[in-house]
Structure 1
Amino acid sequence: MAIPMPIVQDIRRLDRQGMSRAQIARRLHVDRGTVAKYADMEDCSPKPKADRRYGSKIDPYAHLVDEWLEADRMLPRKQRHTIRRVHDRLLAETDYDGEYSTTMRYVHRWREANRGMPDREGYVRLEWAAGSMQVDFGMARARIAGEMADVHCLVASLPYSNMRLCVALPGENAECLCHGLMLVFEHIGGVPPVIVMDNATGAGRRNAKGEVALTGVFSAFVAHYRLEVRFCNPYSGNEKGSVENAVGFLRRNLMVPPMRAESYGQLSRLL
Structure 2
Amino acid sequence: MTIPPDLAAQILRLHHAEKWPTGTIADQLGVHHSVVRRVLEQEGVPTAAITRSSKADPFVPFIVATLEKYPRLTASRLYQMVKERGYDGRPDHFRSIVARYRPAPPVEAYLRLKTAPGDQAQVDWGHFGKITVGQARRPLFAFVIVLSYSRAIFLRFFPGQQMSYFLAGHQAAFARWNGVPRTLLYDNLKSVVLERVGDAIRFNDQIHAFAGHYRYEPRPVAPYRGNEKGRVERAIRYVRDNFFPARTFDSLEDINEQADRWCETVSLDRPWPEDRRLTVRDAYDRERSTLRPLPSTDFPCHERKEVRVGKTPYVRFDRNDYSVPHTFARKLVIVVADLDTVRVIDRSQRVIATHPRSFDAGRQIEDERHIEALKEAKGHARKGRQTDRLSHLAPSSTELIRALAERHRALGRHVADLELLLVSYGAERLEEAIREALEKGTPHPQAVRHILERDQEARGEKAALPLPLPDDPRIHGMRVRTHDLRDYDRLDEDPTQNDSEE
Please indicate the TM-score interval, normalised by the length of the shorter structure: 0.5 to 0.7
Matching residue's letter, 2:183:
V
Aligned CA distance change for structure 1 residues 177 and 62 (closer, same or farther; 3 Å)? same
| Unmatched 5+ stretches in structure 1 | 1-52, 70-80
Residues 205-214 or 132-141, more deviating: 205-214
Which runs of structure 2 are paired with 1:1-271 in the superposition (5 Å)?
54-56=58-60, 57-59=62-64, 61-62=66-67, 65-66=70-71, 69=72, 83=74, 87-88=76-77, 91=80, 95=84, 100=91, 101-102=93-94, 105-106=97-98, 110=102, 112-114=104-106, 116=108, 126-131=113-118, 132-146=120-134, 149-205=138-194, 207=196, 209=198, 211-257=200-246, 259-263=248-252, 265-271=253-259
Task: Check whether the contact 2:193–2:220 (CA below 8 A) recurs between aligned residues.
Answer: no
Distance 2:200 2:248 in 1: 38
Matching residue's letter, 2:129:
R
Task: Check whether the contact 1:195–1:229 (CA below 8 A) recurs between aligned residues.
Answer: yes
Aligned CA distance change for structure 1 residues 187 and 241 (closer, same or farther; 3 Å)? same
Q: 1:142, CA displacement in angstroms?
A: 4.8
Q: 1:143, CA displacement in angstroms?
A: 3.0
Matching residue's letter, 1:134:
Q
Aligned CA distance change for structure 1 residues 261 and 212 (closer, same or farther; 3 Å)? farther
Cα RMSD of the aligned pairs, angstroms, is: 3.4
TM-score w.r.t. length of structure 1: 0.59
Task: Check whether the contact 1:135–1:197 (CA below 8 A) recurs between aligned residues.
Answer: yes
Aligned CA distance change for structure 1 residues 129 and 111 (closer, same or farther; 3 Å)? farther
Matching residue's letter, 1:269:
E
Task: Check whether the contact 2:67–2:102 (CA below 8 A) recurs between aligned residues.
Answer: no
Distance 1:178 1:237 in 2: 23
Matching residue's letter, 1:239:
E
Greater RCO, 1 or 2 (C-alpha within 8 Å, sep 6+) = 1
Distance 2:100 2:139 in 1: 35
TM-score w.r.t. length of structure 2: 0.34
CA shift digits 1:194-215 (9 cap, x unpaired): 1112233521145353654211
Q: Secondary structure at the match of 2:84?
A: coil
Task: Check whether the contact 2:153–2:235 (CA below 8 A) recurs between aligned residues.
Answer: yes
Distance 2:192 2:65 in 1: 43
Matching residue's letter, 1:172:
Q
Task: Check whether the contact 2:64–2:102 (CA below 8 A) recurs between aligned residues.
Answer: no
Matching residue's letter, 1:91:
Q
Residue 430 of structure 2 aligns with which residue? none
Matching residue's letter, 2:113:
L
Aligned CA distance change for structure 1 residues 204 and 124 (closer, same or farther; 3 Å)? farther
